[in-house]
Amino acid sequence: MKKDTVYLTRKIQLRINHPDAATRKKMNDTLYNWQYNCFRSANYIFIHQFLQDNIASVFYFKEDVKLKLASFLKDDEGALTTSRLNTTYQVLSSYFKKKLPSDIYTGLNNKLVNHYNKDRELYISGKKALPNYRNDMPMPIKKRSIKSMCWDAEQKNVQFTLFGIPFVTVLGRVYDDKRMLLQNLMNGSLQFCDSAIQIKNRKLYLLATFQPRPEEKPDTANLVAEVNLSIDYPLQVKIEKYQYNIGNKEEFLYRRLAIQAAIKRAQASVGFTKGGHGTKRKFKVVTKYKEVEKNYITQKLHLYSRRLVQLCKKHHVGAIILLNQSAKQTAIREKENSFLLRNWSMSGLRDKIVYKARLASIEVIEE
């Protein structure tokens, strides 16, 4: 099986690390201006890319106007002076050269042009609307832009400089793996990749991306674990003579059904809720419970997949085989257990197994 590169992403809170309050305020205002110009840049990119694709359909131009979308340097009938990727880069450079660091709008241009090209046919045919970016969108940064990154042993956090602004991470009394990942980054076990910074709800965040080194597979890892994604149990594992059941139907569903019942009660009371600006206030509780359900599912799937990988490490398993039902059996089970299948999130569980197994250098085979 071909091993794709695995990345880890974490949302880490930051603060400006400067003793003078007036200087901190000035730097903070600079960050707000950068984010404001970043979201304007994002909308400019999509507008110009879409305009270039549709300019040939503007029938009210004169006949002698060149409407061929290509560089005139490569095609005599071309209407552009450069490549399509460079056109939007020049637009951003002309508008934001002194308002936004070039590394930000360069990375933003490359990312969004690729994003546009993926759904280009849908945009041109009118089946999909152009995205409208908001002023709290993340600002992409290149790893080369982060300077002087070091570990503060006393405060147990990381300090670094970005475009001349000093930052320090705010970890607090966290029990997740953010502090461990930062320590591994400092000792070279992880590689820092292109990431992003974001100001949201008056807080500053680093959307950090790490590339871990896969664990070395021991020479004794020659066993195979057969894993069945069933309905009665999220994971049924068989390793030689050992059999394990990870999770069960009642343990997973009872909490999710309780949350769904709360969502229905909140939806029924929407008509009696005080209104505000649009429907956001009325559906505030509904949105909150839907987020609770989403987080609950994610937490459970991470728990089940982590326990599976731990079992594989314990038994020195070298490969995991995900067993699928035949088409006929699947159709029967979907008909008889449509309620359970609708609430089971099997595809999400499968994705997390593949992700964690790659980190542990365990091959995943789907049958």
Domain boundaries defined on the chain: 8-22+139-212, 27-125, 223-366
Would you give the distance in Å from CA 335 to the centre of its chain? Answer: 34
**Whole-number pLDDT of residue 318:** 82
CA angle 309/313/318 to nearest 5° reads: 90
**Whole-number pLDDT of residue 127:** 85
- The confidence band for 57, taking pLDDT boundaries of 50, 70 and 90, is low
**Whole-number pLDDT of residue 72:** 47
Residue 60 has pLDDT above 60, yes or no: no
Centre a 10 Å sphere on the Cβ of residue 126 and count the other Cβ atoms it contains: 7
Q: Specify the DSSP element, H or E, that contains 197.
A: strand 195-200
Mean residue pLDDT of the chain comes to 78
206-228 confidence digits (pLDDT tens): 888 888 776 666 655 678 888 87
Measured CA to CA, the distance from residue 311 to residue 245 in angstroms comes to 11
Measured CA to CA, the distance from residue 257 to residue 179 in angstroms comes to 34
Tokens read off for 323: 């067993």
**Whole-number pLDDT of residue 334:** 54
Question: Closest Cα partner for 207 from 160, 157, 141?
Answer: 141
CB–CB of 223/240 below 8 Å?
yes
What single-letter DSSP state applies at residue 276?
Answer: B
pTM, to two decimals: 0.67
73-95 confidence digits (pLDDT tens): 555 555 556 677 778 888 888 88
CB–CB of 270/282 below 8 Å?
yes
DSSP line for 222-247: -EEEEEE--SSSSEEEEETTEEEEES
CATH of 223-366 given 1.10.110, 3.30.420, 1.10.287, 3.90.1200? 3.30.420
CB–CB of 105/36 below 8 Å?
no
**Whole-number pLDDT of residue 325:** 47
CB–CB of 69/53 below 8 Å?
yes
Query: Which phi and psi (to 5°) does residue 269 adopt?
Result: -95, 5
